[in-house]
Amino acid sequence: MSSPIVQQLFTEISFVTSSDRSLYLQLSDAILSFIKKGKLRSGQKLPGSREIAALLQINRITVTKAYEELQTQGWLESLVGSGTFVSSHIVDHEPENLGGSLVPASLKKAGFAIPSLNYLASVSDTPITELHLDDGYPDPRLAPLKEFYRAYRTQLTRSGLYDKFGSYSNSAGSGYYREAIANYLNETRALQAKASNVLSVRGTLMGINLVCTALIKPGDVIVSGIPGWKRAEHNFIHARAKHIGIKVDEYGIVVDELREICRKQKVRMVYVTPHHHYPTTVSLRIDRRLELLRLANEYGFIIFEDDYDYDFHYKHRPLLPLASADENGMVIYCGSFGKSFSPAFRMGYLVAAENVIQHLAKVRILLDRQGDHILDNAMAELLNDNTTQRYLRKALSVYEKRRDLFCDLLSTELKGLVNFTIPEGGMTVWTEFDPSINLETLAKNAYSKGLYISDGKGHQYPDYKTNGIRLGFASSSKEELIRGVAILKGLVP
């Protein structure tokens, strides 16, 4: 017979009969909890299986299986003729040090040191609100979701299952997807790419991170425009590169400043969003485009071209990317479908010289063996049957009307309080507010009324201060835009 104290301890155990977890595992969980909390000590004898079965009114086999499970895990040990004991190899815990929280301390705080990465402090999720003038997201209500569902389902039912599910494949991505992307970019962006020039990524950020991991060494110089995209800059810092910012004006990055930097030190990479500069939306003028390519050829630096919303340009046809005029393999071109369909669709691509793609594919294995070939192949189906192209034409027309309405609302409802230029493309209006308006306060008050806007902190730099934010119009209907601007009007002086 075991001690009365231990018997009393086991009477505390209760079972959840509706749980998917077996009774013997629930019992082993309870015993393990007693050990971890110091209620059962190292070397302490446990009641026999028959005794516990009678005490808890369960089958003796259930108790035996629970004991066997804990013996397998090393928590208990059985001595023939003597009984079952808490393992003598376990260091006892003091109950007074365990606290009363139902959540184990190990799930709240790690026992090892975590490096402080201050540059990630500004990274936060966009809150979900009824109304939103966001960072420039598409409207998923317009996306061809039914067509995408059918294409995805087809990938799961079509023949050749071993090729899809039975083994790992090319780390550069599905050949079918890479071929479809190459054809699509050649037709729409005047590239001359083949499948071997394409690497599938989960989005622009993964593309930037992969390039930084594979091609950037600590101390390398990376140049980009200020203001810029903080998440890209965080990748540069994380790679321990030296980041240098150059001015951005109404014609894009000031390439003259880049030339002066190149004359003084070795530049490894220039990150640029030439079609619609982030965050100001201005386009890089043709003379600066050509000079940027010339400087890359002369000084041997990589141009990382982030073409995040190429398909949405309203004034005229989209400007062809730098990659289309690259004759010496200096450009790594990056795009994604996050701005076309929805940020939830993590599909993108890098396009570069074949040897670059081969190198990136090898490094990619360290992070992601091959990506999601099923998802990529579904997108390839929509590209090949022109579903994507038809959707983009429809969305372009809708977004242009929303842009016009939104800019008209800003001009009339917030007259004298905001300054902006009607963007030629993209999904946002770079809006500078009167200095008397505190954007952080405005964002908090708007949020309390169900409207999300940025507080502007992501566009601030030590040597660059602006009272400006991106106000996205594409993801909102006309009625939602009217309501959103009305809220802002009611909050500003």
Asked if the model's pLDDT at residue 1 lies above 70, the reply is no
pLDDT score of 346: 82
Mean pLDDT over residues 95-116, rounded? 68
Tens-place pLDDT, residues 421-434: 999 999 999 999 99
pLDDT value at residue 258: 98
Whether pLDDT at 96 is above 90: no
Residue extent(s) of CATH 1.10.10.10 domains in the chain: 4-95
Q: Is the pLDDT of residue 301 over 90?
A: yes
What average pLDDT does the chain have?
89
What integer pLDDT is reported at residue 167 of this predicted model? 47
| Residue 97 in this model has a pLDDT that exceeds 60 | no
| Confidence at residue 261, expressed as pLDDT on a 0 to 100 scale | 98
Model pLDDT, residue 163: 55
Start-end of CATH 3.40.640.10 domains in the chain: 145-389
Does residue 331 carry a pLDDT above 50? yes
Q: Which CATH number fits domain 4-95: 3.40.50.300, 1.10.10.10, 3.30.110.40, 3.40.50.620?
A: 1.10.10.10
Residue 10 reports pLDDT greater than 70: yes
Higher-scoring residue by pLDDT: 124, 418: 418
The reported pLDDT for the residue numbered 158 is 66
Q: What is the pLDDT of residues 430-469, one digit of tens each?
A: 999 999 999 999 999 999 999 999 999 889 898 888 999 9
Nearest to residue 288, comparing CAs of 322, 255, 333? 255
pLDDT band at 98 (very low <50, low <70, confident <90, very high): very low
Calculate mean pLDDT across residues 196-217: 95
Q: What is the pLDDT of residue 100?
A: 44
What is the per-residue pLDDT for 455?
92
Whether the per-residue pLDDT at 334 is higher than 80: the answer is yes
Instruction: Give yes or no for residue 195 having a pLDDT over 90.
Output: yes
Euclidean distance between the first and the last CA atom of the chain, given in angstroms as a whole number: 80
Arithmetic mean of pLDDT, 20-24? 88
CATH topology of domain 131-137+393-491: Aspartate Aminotransferase, domain 1 (3.90.1150)
Confidence of residue 160 (pLDDT cuts 50, 70, 90): low
Query: If you average pLDDT over residues 308-321, what whole number do you get?
Result: 85
pLDDT tens string 343-392 = 777 889 999 999 999 999 999 999 887 778 888 888 899 999 999 899 99
- Kindly report, as residue ranges, where domains of CATH 3.90.1150.10 are found in the chain: 131-137+393-491
Architecture field, domain 145-389: 3-Layer(aba) Sandwich (3.40)
Segment 50-71 shows an average pLDDT of: 91
Average pLDDT over residues 16-41: 88
State yes or no: pLDDT of 101 exceeds 60. Answer: no
